[in-house]
A and B are shown apart, each in its own frame.
Chain A
């Protein structure tokens, strides 16, 4: 009887031992299985996600990229994604989906935009008007929230690039835009020709909400 009890205790101890040993490896296998499913279904890169597919393909997250554009009556302007969207952009590069790219287009369309050099030009003009004296934050704020000018002089050291406008800024300070287009691309490497080519995956378009079309100062 005692022998049986001791054998059964021993067997329970062994089971406990192997259960504790297996916790970490089983977690590794479960995560790797989930990662494999994501690579298969949502085109997630093998590099990211816990499946240990690093250094196995050119198709890492840095081989996928987005091209965003703001379309106005005057043309189609490249739109740098603002830092606040860095994580969203990184997620889309790691696992690009049409729905995700569409959601990004909608977010970018909901954001008012302006030219950085136009804003800096308005600030510089206000500073010159004051002769460079008693420059205050309120004065600069007023200058940068003035209605956007259609034509402006190029400014030394400034970059002609779109930048996001604070959401509470008057609508008139923003660039009248029609829509946002976001394209998702992937790099392919042709070893014979040492050629790196961009392949278009998909494009999403989102109309800019009507309030942003207005060139009138907000009340």
Chain B
């Protein structure tokens, strides 16, 4: 009886998963458009053409499989990054490379497109993670955990996490941010400040140390897994690692654009044998979007009455 129930459950699960299965070459361009439209450049001269291009792509879906479409998208995104390098985050560069990867893949015969996109995506994730790891290991203030200690004490995006795990009150963290701002802008009110002392607690250093080496470990492991030759066992490891990275990192540092981009690349690098992982990447995209909801603030206000 138990065996029958378990078999039925397995059947139901597999049919449910089969329903979630999708054709990546059809879904990825559309998901990319959603990402680009929700992270368009601030500059009017780039936002207008990019939105127009996306609208054309949505109306004429065939165009989404044409290399010229993605060449134009890469040109627009690349121009935005080139003209605004001082403000462009690294995931904006990744958008450009992704558009170029789509352009390159769609310029090949139909039968080779998915494989080309998978290979490009693996290299992009691997190189991005390798560089991120090398930069972290190269910086002395990262290696001694100063970076995460400073971030926990003064970065607003980490404030609720810091308060929850260290017991430092949110007001103390807000005062830290005010002190940091005084250091930079105090001279405007006639008070040029040389240094400030932030409020901290002994546990902050321990949490910072853990975050420092966890980040290096997972980013380094991702680099190794994605740059290693493609084998079924490696594929399972890299999919699991990337999903764990997405689920843990973007809950703390809600950089939605980067998270989405990595999950799209993760979805694209899944070969046919890994198709069961693809819906999990969609779920991760939804999760990263949910992380941007101000849940902690709502809970805090609610608990304060």
Query: Does B112 make an interface contact (CB < 8 A)?
Result: yes
Residues of A within 8 A of B87 (CB): 48, 90
Chain A stretch 38-64: residues in CB contact (< 8 A) with chain B: 46, 48-59, 61-62
Query: Does B294 make an interface contact (CB < 8 A)?
Result: no
Which one, A22, A23, A196, contacts B195 given CB within 8 A? A196
| Contact B135–A56 (Cβ < 8 Å) | yes
| Contact B188–A193 (Cβ < 8 Å) | no
Residues of A within 8 A of B147 (CB): 55-58
Q: Mark B215-256, 1 if CB is under 8 A from A, else 0.
A: 100000000000000000000000000000000000001000
Residues of A within 8 A of B98 (CB): 24
Residues of B within 8 A of A194 (CB): 149, 153, 197-200
Residues of B within 8 A of A65 (CB): 184-185
- Given A23-B101, A80-B188: A52 touches B85 (CB 8 Å cut-off): no
Chain B stretch 122-145: residues in CB contact (< 8 A) with chain A: 123-124, 127-128, 131-132, 135-136, 138-139, 141-142, 144-145
| Contact A17–B200 (Cβ < 8 Å) | no
| Contact B89–A54 (Cβ < 8 Å) | yes
Interface centre among A21, A32, A65 (most CB of B within 10 A): A21
| Contact A191–B104 (Cβ < 8 Å) | no
| Contact B136–A56 (Cβ < 8 Å) | yes
The count of residues in chain A whose C-beta lies closer than 8 Å to any C-beta of chain B is 50
| Contact A27–B135 (Cβ < 8 Å) | no
Query: Does A167 make an interface contact (CB < 8 A)?
Result: no
Residues of B within 8 A of A27 (CB): 96-97, 100
Q: Mark A69-92, 1 if CB is under 8 A from B, else 0.
A: 100000000101000000100110
| Contact B132–A54 (Cβ < 8 Å) | yes
| CB-based nearest A residue for B98 | A24
Which one, B128, B180, B185, contacts A196 given CB within 8 A? B180
Residues of A within 8 A of B200 (CB): 194
Query: Does A28 make an interface contact (CB < 8 A)?
Result: yes
**Separation of A21 and B185 alpha carbons in the complex (Å):** 48
Query: Does B120 make an interface contact (CB < 8 A)?
Result: yes
The count of residues in chain B whose C-beta lies closer than 8 Å to any C-beta of chain A is 66
Closest approach, in angstroms, between the C-beta of B127 and any C-beta of chain A?
5
- Given A25-B120, A65-B184, A198-B183: A17 touches B100 (CB 8 Å cut-off): no
Closest approach, in angstroms, between the C-beta of A21 and any C-beta of chain B?
5
- Given A55-B147, A78-B190: A21 touches B116 (CB 8 Å cut-off): yes
Which one, B104, B141, B194, contacts A57 given CB within 8 A? B141
- Given A46-B135, A52-B132, A56-B147: A67 touches B187 (CB 8 Å cut-off): yes
Query: Does B88 make an interface contact (CB < 8 A)?
Result: yes
| Contact B139–A196 (Cβ < 8 Å) | no
Q: Mark A93-134, 1 if CB is under 8 A from B, else 0.
A: 111000000000000000000000000000000000000000
Residues of B within 8 A of A51 (CB): 90, 131, 135
Residues of A within 8 A of B123 (CB): 21-22, 24-25
| Contact B86–A87 (Cβ < 8 Å) | yes
- Given A53-B132, A94-B86, A189-B141: A25 touches B127 (CB 8 Å cut-off): yes
**Separation of A91 and B86 alpha carbons in the complex (Å):** 5
Query: Does A195 make an interface contact (CB < 8 A)?
Result: yes
| CB-based nearest A residue for B126 | A25
| Contact B93–A31 (Cβ < 8 Å) | yes
Query: Does A155 make an interface contact (CB < 8 A)?
Result: no
Q: Mark A28-40, 1 if CB is under 8 A from B, else 0.
A: 1101100000000
Closest approach, in angstroms, between the C-beta of B266 and any C-beta of chain A?
15
Which one, B93, B100, B136, B253, contacts A23 given CB within 8 A? B100
- Given A57-B147, A161-B188: A195 touches B97 (CB 8 Å cut-off): no
| Contact A46–B139 (Cβ < 8 Å) | yes
Query: Does B150 make an interface contact (CB < 8 A)?
Result: yes
| Contact A21–B104 (Cβ < 8 Å) | yes
Interface centre among B98, B132, B190 (most CB of A within 10 A): B132
Residues of A within 8 A of B264 (CB): none
**Separation of A191 and B141 alpha carbons in the complex (Å):** 9
**Separation of A142 and B197 alpha carbons in the complex (Å):** 49
| CB-based nearest B residue for A29 | B127
Interface centre among A52, A58, A61, A65 (most CB of B within 10 A): A52
| Contact A195–B198 (Cβ < 8 Å) | yes
Q: A48-B89, A189-B146 are in contact. List 14 more A-B contacts (CB 8 A).
A: A17-B108, A20-B105, A21-B105, A22-B120, A22-B123, A27-B100, A29-B127, A50-B88, A51-B131, A52-B90, A57-B135, A67-B187, A80-B188, A198-B193
* 6 contacts across the A-B interface (CB closer than 8 A): A20-B116, A53-B135, A58-B141, A95-B86, A191-B149, A197-B194
Top 3 A-B pairs, shortest CB-CB distance: A53-B135, A20-B104, A197-B195
